[in-house]
C-alpha cells in the first residue's frame, strides 16, 4: 500500500477521552475511531491487525481439532428461556422486539445456540468429541465501557464449545484448548499466563483465565517467576495425553487479585511476581449445565441416552489488539510483533521525486509484495522527520529507509522497530534478510 493513497488518519495530539496508552495509540495511529460509547469503527490499519489476529486464532483452533461455524448475532429469546438465563442474565443483555413483538436479543454469548445446534443434529456418541467455534461479534451492554477496545460493549470474540461423552473426555477437550491458547498467544508475541479462575457453581479446578502481563493492565495479578521460563509447545499431537503439559503450566502459583492469597506471597518471597494483567482468554468446563435443561442427548455405546459434558473457551480477539499495544509500545508509538503487524515492512523514500530513490523504492516495493512481505510505502513528499516519526507511531516491525546518502554507496538502511537497531545493507541482502526472517517464523509457528 502506498501511504499517499492509504486511509490512515493519524493524530499528533491525543483525544481527551483516551486514558490508557493502548487507547491513545490506537487513536493516534488511526486504527480505530469511536462510534459511540463502547462501540468502535475499525479503520484500515486496525482492521488489518484484527484480521491477522483472527487468522492466528483460527489456525490454532483448527489445529486443535475445533471446527469453525458461524452463529447468528441476533438470537431468539426462546432458547434463553429454556436454559433459564433469559431472566438471570440481567441488563447486560441487549433485548430487542421484532415486528411481531417476539423477544429477541443480541447475543452476549452462544451456549444456548450451540447447544440447540447440537441437539438438533448430533444423535450418536460416535460423533463425539466435538468442538465448534466461531469468531464473531458479541454485544454486552456494559455499565461502564472504557479503555477503548479493551472494554467495549461490542467486541469480536472467538468462542468455542466442546461436547464430550464423559468427564474424562471433557477434560481432554479442556486440555486441548489450554494448549492451543498457549500457542495462540505466543504466536502473537505475548506472554500469557494461565491463572486459576473462579470455577463458579460447578466447582473443580477446570477454569483458567489467560492473563497477559502489561504494566498498564487493568487488574493486579500474582504469579511464580517460573512462568516466565515455561516452554511453549512448538509441535503438538492433540490426540496424545496433554495432561503432563498442562500440569507443567498449572503446578506453580498464579492468581488474579480476587483469588490471591497474601500468605503465599510471603512464602514465595522474591520468586513471586506482582504485576498488572489483561485477561485475553478464559476457558471453563461446565458439565451438563446447558445440555441437561435443554435436553441435548446422544445415544451411547450401549444404546442408553447420554447427556454430554460441555466446556466453553473464549478469546477476546478485539481486546487482543489493545492488549498487544499495551504490551508492545514505547514513547514513539506502537511496536507490532511481526505476526500481527498491519504491514510487515515500512518502506521510507527520503527523497520522493528523485530518480534514484524512486527507482529503488519501486523495485523494493515490488519485490516485497512478490516475496509475500506486505509493505506500506511512504511515498509522500514529506520531510524525513515526519516520515520517521510517522512510521514509528504506526509501528511496522521493519523499516527500510532509502535515501540519497546510502544509495551513493549502493546501500539502504534496515531498521528494527523494536530495538532501534539499524544496518546498512545492499538491496539484495535486505530482501534475503527479511525473507529469511519471515520463513523462519512460519516454520516455527511461534515467531515474534
Q: Which residues bind RNA (CB under 7 A)?
A: 10-17, 19, 34, 36-38, 140, 142-147, 149-153, 155, 157, 209, 218-219, 279-282, 314-316, 318-319, 332, 350-352, 381-386, 388-390, 392-393, 401, 403-406, 413, 415
Q: Contact, 229 vs 263, CB < 8 A?
A: no
Q: In the block, which residue shows the cell 511476581?
A: 273
* Closest-CA residue to 148 (of 286, 267, 39): 39
* DSSP-assigned states of every residue in 62-127: HHTT-EE----SEEEHHHHHHHTHHHHSGGGSEEEE-TT--EEEE-S--HHHHHHHHHHH--BGGG
CA–CA distances in Å: residue 356 to residues 2, 181, 262, 294, 430: 18, 48, 65, 70, 17
Minimum distance from CB of 210 to RNA (Å)?
A: 8
Minimum distance from CB of 84 to RNA (Å)?
A: 17
The C-alpha cell at 304 is 442408553
Instruction: Using the minimum distance from each CB to RNA, give the nearer residue, 128 or 150.
Output: 150
Minimum distance from CB of 329 to RNA (Å)?
A: 13
Q: What are phi and psi of 183, to 5 degrees?
A: -70, -40
Minimum distance from CB of 55 to RNA (Å)?
A: 18
Residue 406 CB neighbour total at 10 angstroms: 18
Instruction: Using the minimum distance from each CB to RNA, give the nearer residue, 218 or 367.
Output: 218
Instruction: Using the minimum distance from each CB to RNA, give the nearer residue, 223 or 283.
Output: 283
Minimum distance from CB of 314 to RNA (Å)?
A: 5
* Closest-CA residue to 400 (of 383, 381, 387, 386): 387
Instruction: Using the minimum distance from each CB to RNA, give the nearer residue, 227 or 313.
Output: 313
Minimum distance from CB of 255 to RNA (Å)?
A: 15
Contacts of residue 399, Cβ cutoff 8 Å, sequence gap at least 6 = 345, 346, 347, 348, 391, 413, 414, 415, 417
Instruction: Using the minimum distance from each CB to RNA, give the nearer residue, 124 or 219.
Output: 219
Instruction: Using the minimum distance from each CB to RNA, give the nearer residue, 306 or 342.
Output: 342
Instruction: Using the minimum distance from each CB to RNA, give the nearer residue, 130 or 334.
Output: 334
**Residue 326 parent element (H or E):** helix 317-327
Instruction: Using the minimum distance from each CB to RNA, give the nearer residue, 127 or 218.
Output: 218
**Sign of the CA dihedral running 180, 182, 184, 186:** negative
Q: What is the rounded distance in angstroms from the CA atom of residue 288 to the CA atom of residue 308?
A: 6
Q: Contact, 352 vs 381, CB < 8 A?
A: yes
Minimum distance from CB of 114 to RNA (Å)?
A: 16
Minimum distance from CB of 252 to RNA (Å)?
A: 21
Q: What are phi and psi of 438, to 5 degrees?
A: -65, -45
Instruction: Using the minimum distance from each CB to RNA, give the nearer residue, 316 or 397.
Output: 316
Minimum distance from CB of 353 to RNA (Å)?
A: 8
Instruction: Using the minimum distance from each CB to RNA, give the nearer residue, 5 or 12.
Output: 12
Contacts of residue 149, Cβ cutoff 8 Å, sequence gap at least 6 = 22, 23, 26, 32, 40, 155, 318, 319, 321, 322
Instruction: Using the minimum distance from each CB to RNA, give the nearer residue, 93 or 298.
Output: 93
Q: In the block, which residue shows the cell 527500510?
A: 400
Q: What is the rounded distance in angstroms from the CA atom of residue 381 to the CA atom of residue 383?
A: 7
Minimum distance from CB of 327 to RNA (Å)?
A: 16
Minimum distance from CB of 355 to RNA (Å)?
A: 14
Q: What is the rounded distance in angstroms from the CA atom of residue 436 to the CA atom of residue 87?
A: 56
Amino acid at each position: 500500500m502506498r501511504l499517499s493513497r492509504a486511509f490512515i488518519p493519524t493524530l499528533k495530539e491525543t483525544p481527551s477521552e483516551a486514558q490508557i496508552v493502548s487507547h491513545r495509540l490506537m487513536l493516534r495511529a488511526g486504527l480505530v475511531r469511536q462510534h459511540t460509547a463502547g462501540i468502535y469503527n475499525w479503520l484500515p490499519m486496525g482492521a488489518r491487525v484484527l484480521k491477522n489476529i483472527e487468522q492466528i486464532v483460527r489456525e490454532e483452533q483448527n489445529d486443535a481439532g475445533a471446527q469453525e461455524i458461524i452463529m447468528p448475532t441476533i438470537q431468539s429469546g426462546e432458547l434463553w428461556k429454556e436454559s433459564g438465563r433469559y431472566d438471570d442474565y440481567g441488563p447486560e443483555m441487549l433485548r430487542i422486539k421484532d415486528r411481531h413483538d417476539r423477544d429477541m436479543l443480541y447475543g452476549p454469548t452462544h451456549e444456548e445456540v450451540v447447544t440447540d445446534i447440537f441437539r438438533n443434529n448430533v444423535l450418536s456418541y460416535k460423533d463425539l468429541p466435538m468442538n465448534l467455534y466461531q469468531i464473531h461479534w458479541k454485544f454486552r451492554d456494559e455499565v461502564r465501557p472504557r479503555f477503548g477496545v479493551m472494554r467495549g460493549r461490542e467486541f469480536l470474540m472467538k468462542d468455542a464449545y466442546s461436547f464430550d461423552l464423559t468427564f474424562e473426555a471433557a477434560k481432554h477437550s479442556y486440555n486441548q484448548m489450554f494448549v492451543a491458547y498457549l500457542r495462540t498467544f505466543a504466536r502473537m508475541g505475548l506472554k500469557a499466563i494461565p491463572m486459576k479462575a473462579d470455577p463458579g457453581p460447578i466447582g473443580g479446578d477446570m477454569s483458567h483465565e489467560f492473563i497477559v502481563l502489561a504494566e498498564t493492565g487493568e487488574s493486579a495479578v500474582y504469579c511464580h517467576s517460573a512462568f516466565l521460563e515455561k516452554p511453549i509447545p512448538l509441535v503438538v499431537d492433540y490426540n496424545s495425553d496433554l495432561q503432563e503439559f498442562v500440569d507443567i503450566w498449572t503446578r506453580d502459583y498464579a492468581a488474579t487479585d480476587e483469588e490471591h492469597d497474601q500468605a503465599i506471597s510471603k512464602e514465595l518471597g522474591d520468586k513471586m511476581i506482582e504485576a498488572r494483567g489483561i485477561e485475553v482468554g478464559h476457558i471453563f468446563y461446565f458439565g451438563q449445565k446447558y445440555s441437561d435443561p435443554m435436553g441435548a442427548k446422544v445415544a451411547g455405546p450401549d444404546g442408553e441416552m447420554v447427556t454430554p459434558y460441555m466446556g466453553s473457551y473464549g478469546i477476546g480477539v478485539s481486546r487482543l489488539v489493545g492488549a498487544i499495544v499495551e504490551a508492545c509500545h514505547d514513547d514513539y508509538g506502537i511496536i507490532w510483533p511481526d505476526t500481527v503487524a498491519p504491514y510487515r515492512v515500512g518502506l521510507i523514500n527520503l527523497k520522493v521525486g528523485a530518480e534514484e530513490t524512486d527507482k529503488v523504492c519501486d523495485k523494493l516495493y515490488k519485490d516485497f509484495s512478490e516475496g509475500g512481505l506486505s509493505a506500506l510505502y511512504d511515498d509522500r513528499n514529506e520531510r524525513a522527520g515526519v516520515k520517521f516519526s510517522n512510521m514509528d507511531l504506526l509501528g511496522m516491525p521493519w523499516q527500510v529507509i532509502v535515501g540519497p546518502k546510502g544509495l551513493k554507496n549502493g546501500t539502504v538502511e534496515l531498521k528494527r522497530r523494536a530495538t532501534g537497531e539499524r544496518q546498512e545493507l545492499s538491496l539484495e541482502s535486505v530482501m534475503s534478510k527479511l525473507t529469511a526472517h519471515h520463513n523462519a517464523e512460519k516454520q516455527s509457528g511461534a515467531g515474534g
